[in-house]
Amino acid sequence: MFAAVKNYFSEFKIMKTVSKDFWLVNAIQFFDGLAYFAVIIVISLYLTDSVGFSDMEAGAWQGIFFLFITAFMFAVGSICDTLGVKKTFYIAASLLGISRLGLGVAPQFATGEPLKYFVMAMLIVMALGTATLVTNTNAALRHFTTPENRGTGFNVYYLIMNIGAAIAGFGVTDGFRAAFGPVNGNLMIFNFSFVMAVICFFCAWLISKRHDDAAAAEKSGTVEKTPLQIFAEVWKESAFQKLVLFLVLTLGVRLVFTHQTMVMPKYYIRTLYNDFELGLVNSLNPSIIVVGLILFIPIINKFNIVKLLVVGMTISALSLLFLAVPNEWIMAVPGIDNLNQAYLYIIVAQIFVFAVGELIFSPRFVEYVASVAPKDKVASYMGLSALPMFIARPINGFVSGMLISSYAYDGIRAKIDTGNVEYMQSPEWMWMIYFILAAISPIAILLWRNKVTSNATDDGAGTGGGKKDEAAEAAH
């Protein structure tokens, strides 16, 4: 174990060669990550408790928010190229600061329909700010590294991002909710996120103008193509058709990757208690990923890509079975004395098993896309690989709203305690539905394997690493 940790960090010595601007960009993504990962944990609760949306409306607008993030990411690239790193960070931080402050204070000054419409507008502004910051961060990291240190630079980026996600959970989310109460705590999280946007603005101001101008000059000789132009060029290629089919087949399991922020918070609170430690639980996943990246990626890299994809998807889907097991089965486990303990047991078990599946699947998914892409179009294929999350998030926004309002509504725990809830009316049945949807993906990949694989993917072992699909959608 010590050797694995030593080997992982030994490559970081090359980071002595990067400029201070590289570290400033990482500081921006770290501070914004503290805000982003805290906000997405509570956003569904905020929409219902502070704004007055129903579960279905909250789910829909949560899905719309993530949909706009991905849609804006397709559109803001040319803006980033034109304005340069510093100015784009200024704009992104300003948009995030305005929208987060607006969301944090609006419920104190408005109610009813005016509040709802204002919140809708602010969510779209926040989505634009998030998309701009993420796109510009990835571009800046490329330009502030060299071919020699770029790979290690992105490893540092992934590591810092996951550390930030963990801190955002137990530090920011639980800290404010414990200090100010569940409802007011959620508002304070948005206000804290405004402060983080201000810090990001200051970090952008410290970026060297000389390096910013050099990055702009590097980009000035290239012609950026829109996603539609890229699609028009590659849609006839057999490799691209395989990729599209593969992306469609993975949609079921991609829903699982959106549960942690879109479904879990309300499920946790409504099956347990209102002051449940949302942040601590949400910190478990990135913490496991950080440890897994260090210890197990060198081992996982030795296996076949497609097999790892199927294994990772299967494990991720199977994790939902912990949540789908009837309560009386869990209560029969030695050491579990009450329903709260039963729910805590299955929640922690699900998070751990899902994290293992994600650790296996996510890096291999990126590698699969690279392996099926022609050598001269890897970047174009990688850009299009965002489509599954682009589709899965809004789908799960609407689906989660319907399922939560039917099976994990406010007051469901009181009914469970009385014993008047049948299995097919319970939260456990909701997770069985999600499991069935998720299980379709690995089964479909196995059935259609010859249609979605090539010699490169069938014969090659893994080579890469990485984290969140969304790495966040690149990385939030």
Q: What is the pLDDT of residues 67-97, one digit of tens each?
A: 888 778 767 766 766 777 888 899 999 999 9
pLDDT recorded at residue 14: 61
How large is the average pLDDT for residues 6-28? 73
Instruction: State the Cα torsion 470-471-472-476 to the nearest 10°.
Output: 170
CB atoms within 10 A of CB 129: 24
Q: What is the pLDDT of residues 274-307, one digit of tens each?
A: 778 888 888 888 888 778 777 766 666 666 677 8
Give the predicted TM-score (pTM) of the model. Answer: 0.74
Segments of 201-240 assigned E as strands: none
Q: Tell me the residue type at 162.
A: N
| Among 26-40, 111-125, 244-258, the least confident range | 244-258
- Which range of 101-110, 134-143, 326-335, 451-460 scores highest in mean pLDDT? It is 101-110
pLDDT recorded at residue 467: 37
pLDDT recorded at residue 149: 66
Task: Give the residue, 360 or 427, on which the prediction is more confident.
Answer: 427
DSSP string covering 293-355: HHHTHHHHTTSBHHHHHHHHHHHHHHTHHHHHS-HHHHHTSTT--SHHHHHHHHHHHHHHHHH
* Percent of all residues in the chain with a pLDDT value above 70, rounded to a whole number: 74
pLDDT value at 230 more than 80: no
Structure confidence at residue 123 as a pLDDT band (50, 70, 90): very high
Structure tokens at 365: 């998914």
Using CB atoms within 10 A of its CB, is residue 3 exposed (0-12), middle (13-18) or buried (19+)? Answer: exposed
Alpha-carbon span 21 to 368, nearest angstrom: 32
Domains of the chain: 18-222 (1.20.1250.20), 225-476 (1.20.1250.20)
- Mark residue 374 as left, alpha or beta (left: phi above 0; alpha: psi -120 to 50; beta: remaining): beta
pLDDT value at 169 more than 70: yes
pLDDT recorded at residue 388: 66
CB atoms within 10 A of CB 310: 20
- For residues 99 and 35, is the Cβ–Cβ distance under 8 A? no
- Alpha helices (H) along 15-149: 20-46, 55-75, 77-83, 85-105, 112-143
- Which range of 148-152, 263-267, 470-474 scores highest in mean pLDDT? It is 263-267
Q: Residue 461, SS3?
A: strand
Nearest-5° Cα angle at 405, 270 to 331: 40
**191 contacts: CB under 8 Å, gap ≥ 6:** 100, 101, 104, 105
How large is the average pLDDT for residues 32-40? 92
How large is the average pLDDT for residues 412-428? 90
Angle between helices 251-262 and 238-249 (to 10 degrees): 50
DSSP bridge pairs for 304 = 461
How large is the average pLDDT for residues 401-418? 89
Closest CA to 314 of 424, 439, 413, 412: 439
pLDDT recorded at residue 214: 54
**149 contacts: CB under 8 Å, gap ≥ 6:** 14, 15, 17, 18
Q: What average pLDDT does the chain have?
A: 79
3-state helix, strand, coil in the chain (%, to 5): 80, 0, 15
pLDDT value at 159 more than 80: no
Alpha-carbon span 320 to 318, nearest angstrom: 5
Q: Side-chain half-sphere of 70: how many Cα atoms within 13 Å?
A: 22
Nearest-5° Cα angle at 258, 303 to 442: 40
Closest CA to 476 of 65, 44, 53, 201: 65
Locate tokens 């440890």: which residue? 291
Using CB atoms within 10 A of its CB, is residue 222 exposed (0-12), middle (13-18) or buried (19+)? Answer: exposed
| Among 60-64, 154-158, 306-310, 375-379, the least confident range | 375-379
pLDDT value at 8 more than 70: no
How large is the average pLDDT for residues 366-390? 62
Closest CA to 279 of 41, 47, 30: 41
Q: What is the pLDDT of residues 344-372, one digit of tens each?
A: 999 999 999 998 888 787 766 766 766 66
